Every structure is written in C-alpha cells, then in structure tokens.
Amino acid sequence: MAEESNVSKPGLFEKGGKLGFLHSTADAFETFLRVPGTVTRRGAHIRDAIDLKRVMIIVVLALVPAALFGMWNVGYQTSVATGAGWGFLQMFWFGFLKVLPLYLVSYIVGLAIEFISSQIRNEEVNEGYLVSGMLIPLIVPVDVPLWMLALAVAFAVIIGKELFGGTGMNIWNPALLARAFLFFSYPSKMSGSEVWINLNRGTAVDGFTGATPLSYAFDGADGLSKLDGAGFDFWSLFAGFVPGSVGETSVIAILIGAVILLWTGVASWKIMLSSVAGGLLVGWLGTAFGVTDIPAYYQLVLGGFAFGTVFMATDPVTSAQTETGKWIYGFLVGALTVTVRLFNPGYAEGMMLTILMMNTLAPLIDHCVVSRAVSKRAKRV
C-alpha cells in the first residue's frame, strides 16, 4: 500500500497527465501567480531574489509613462486637427480607446505564439514578450490596421525570435522587427503625412498637414525655419505635443522611463550615453558643414531618437554584450541615426533600421573586443 501512495498520478497539467501537452501554459500561469517552490538542485544553494519576470516588469513599468502620454497625445492631436476642442479627459479617453486595440492585438497574438512555441520546445514560457508586446503599439502610427499589426507581430515573434530558440537567442529586437515588417510591407500606412493622426472620421481644419516634425526638419538645409514655421519649437518637441508614433513623441515621458531603467540597472547607461554622444557629434558636424541648420541637440528630441536610445538599443539580448562593445555599439546607433537623417530626406527616421543594423553588427563588435582581449591575455606575462 505504501508503494502505491508514492506513485501518485500525474496532475491534470503535469507531464503524463490528461492535459499534459499544455504543461508549459499551465506552468506559465502558475508561476505568474506564485513564485515556484523550486529549490536549488545543483550549484549555489542560495539564489538572488531577481528573476527575469522582475527584470521584464521593470521595463514594462518604465514604458508606462510613454504609453500614457501617447494615449493622451493621440486624443490631443485629433482634437487639434479637427478643431474639436476636447478637454484633457476626453483626449485621454479617445486615445485610450484607440491604443487599447493595438495592445490587445499585440499581446494576444504575440503571447499565443510564445506559449505555443514554448509548448513545442517543452520549456517554460519566457517573459520576454511582455516587453516586446508593450513596445510594439508605442512605435506604430495609431491608425495602423489591426490585421496588419497582427501579421507584423506574428512575423516578428516567429521569424525574429522563435526560429532562433526564443527570448535570449534572438538576433534582432523583436519589436523593431515588427515595425520594419510593417514599414516595408505597407509603406502607405507607415509613412507620409496622413497616417499619424486619427481624424475621428471627421475632416481636418484648414491648414492642417499631419506631417511629423521630422519631415520638416530634414527637408533641405533650412529645416529649423521650416520646423518653426510649422509651429514645432524645442519645447513642444521635448514635451511631445507633436504627431508621431504613439509612444515616441514625449522626451519627458521617455526620460522618466530612462531614470527607472538606469536606477534599477536594467538597461546599460553606457549604451544610452554613447548613443546620445554619437547623435550629438554627427548632428554638430552636420551644422558645422552646413548640411542642416538644425542644432545638434534637436536631434535628440526629434522622431524616435530618444525612444530608440532608451528602450530599443539597450535590449540586453540584441545589443553588444561586452562593456567596451556597448560604448561602440551605442555610439554607432546614435551617429548612424543622425547620418541617415541628414542625408536621406526621403525617409528621415533612421532609428529603426540603424538599431536593426547594429543588432546585426553587435556580435561582430563583441567578437573584435573579445579577440583583442584574448590576444592581450595570450601575451601577458
């Protein structure tokens, strides 16, 4: 009898149980609610309280200010464009209703694929998508059709991440990959001056163009006066009262996120700092050689520079892993982004493709850094 009680039946969701094939999913919900009672088996007997769930939730938290501001700004832009004259809450509520479906699509599609893949790989579900899913709605125009978004999310998660083995194995930032997919597949919904502001089925007031500040700033060498002419001064760019992707406009909201990420040490300050340095340097060279009259510091508040630097370039998986590599990687992200702005007026937003390119090059940078260190090691006495 005693033996029988030892061989207990596997639980409903355990391996061998009736719904055993769903154990990754069941496990994900279980560990989401309760930290598992697993004890150390090998190696160090005690472990730090930190886990990936905590790391990821910090990043999600850091994105909240940008997301909230983005919702308000969606309403604000619509209100201004249509001359509706809404109040604060009305603007926010309008934006909230517009952005919520983006979030639903992003999380439902992304997490479903993530769960299925984990199930296939027989692993625990990784929390990485919590962040990607939070990022994606913030870097698309608010009016992107939901089916396109769903397609882009599926592409990014399957091709960009799961094929490589899931979070931690991917080469490219999944959120940016989703945006790149949209950009190349449906350019009419991702660029130009019609996509950034929802007109609430109404008509725009006279003189409304809907173009982003970036498109004024790099339209010829007199960008600054064009920006001013369109009513975009430094303050409005810094605060984010401008059209653009949902979460990218407010540098203030992004800076709050940056403080959280740096305070907790989740993101690398080296990457952020060197990216800013790279952007400023090339921006300064641009003005010094008369390519543009946009002051270098404007580069930091225009377009997706701040958002990309703080939330995208610092992704620990796809950025450089070595400390020296992080300086080089960050600097190149900033410098190349501004270079694209200066010399490619056709599509001035260089942040997305720059980061994707630097993601691709990050292993090379690391390889060089590590090889140097290895040969130095070999020579030491």
Partner 1 sequence: MSNTIDLKKGLDIPIKGAAARKVVKTVVPDVAALKPSDFKGLVPRLLVREGDSVLAGSPVMCDKRNPEILITSPVSGTVHQVLRGEKRKLLAVLIKADGKNEAVDFGKRKVAPLTADDVRELLLKSGLWAGLVQRPYGVMADPAVKPKAIFISAFDTAPLAADFDFALGDQAGHVQTGINALAKLTGGGVHVSLNVENYSGSPFHKIEGAALHIIRGRHPAGNVGVQISHISPIKKGETVWTVSLTILAAIGKLFDTGRCDLSRKVAVTGPAAENPAYVEAFPGMPMSAVSEFCKKDCDVRYISGNVLTGENVGADGYLGFFDNQVTLIGEGREKELLGWAKPFRPKLFSTSHCYFSWLTPKKVYDMDTNLHGGPRAFVATKCFADVTPMEIFPIYLIKACLAGDIDKMEQFGIYEVLPEDLALCDYVDPSKNDIQAIISNGIDLMIKEMA
Applying CB under 8 A, the residues found at the interface with partner 1 are 31, 33-55, 57-58, 124, 126-128, 165-169, 263-266, 268, 316-317, 321-323, 370, 373-374, 377-378, 380
> 365 CB contacts (<8 Å, ≥6 apart)?
320, 322, 325, 328, 329
Residues 197, 68: Cα–Cα separation, whole Å: 17
Quick one: 43 exposed, middle or buried, by C-beta within 10 A (0-12, 13-18, 19+)? Answer: exposed
Longest Cα separation, the chain:
89
Least distance between partner 1 and beta carbon 362 (Å): 13
The closest of 284, 315, 314 to 299, measured between CA atoms, is 284
Least distance between partner 1 and beta carbon 184 (Å): 28
DSSP string, 245-309: STTTS-HHHHHHHHHHHHHHT-S-HHHHHHHHHHHHHHHHHHHHTTS--S-TTHHHHSTTHHHII
* Between 126 and 309, CB nearer to partner 1: 126
Least distance between partner 1 and beta carbon 238 (Å): 27
Q: Which amino acid is at 225?
A: S
| 358 in Cβ contact with 329 (< 8 Å) | yes
Least distance between partner 1 and beta carbon 377 (Å): 6
* Between 119 and 321, CB nearer to partner 1: 321
Least distance between partner 1 and beta carbon 44 (Å): 4
* Between 70 and 166, CB nearer to partner 1: 166
| 167 in Cβ contact with 129 (< 8 Å) | yes
Least distance between partner 1 and beta carbon 299 (Å): 28
* Between 12 and 50, CB nearer to partner 1: 50
Structure tokens at 82: 């249509």
* Between 165 and 231, CB nearer to partner 1: 165
29: enclosing H helix or E strand: helix 23-33
* Between 27 and 349, CB nearer to partner 1: 27
If one counts every other C-beta atom within 10 angstroms of the C-beta of residue 379, the result is 7
Residue recorded with tokens 């130095």: 376
* Between 58 and 135, CB nearer to partner 1: 58
* Between 128 and 243, CB nearer to partner 1: 128
The closest of 56, 142, 57, 55 to 103, measured between CA atoms, is 142
Least distance between partner 1 and beta carbon 136 (Å): 19
Least distance between partner 1 and beta carbon 336 (Å): 24
| 284 in Cβ contact with 296 (< 8 Å) | yes
Q: Which amino acid is at 376?
A: K
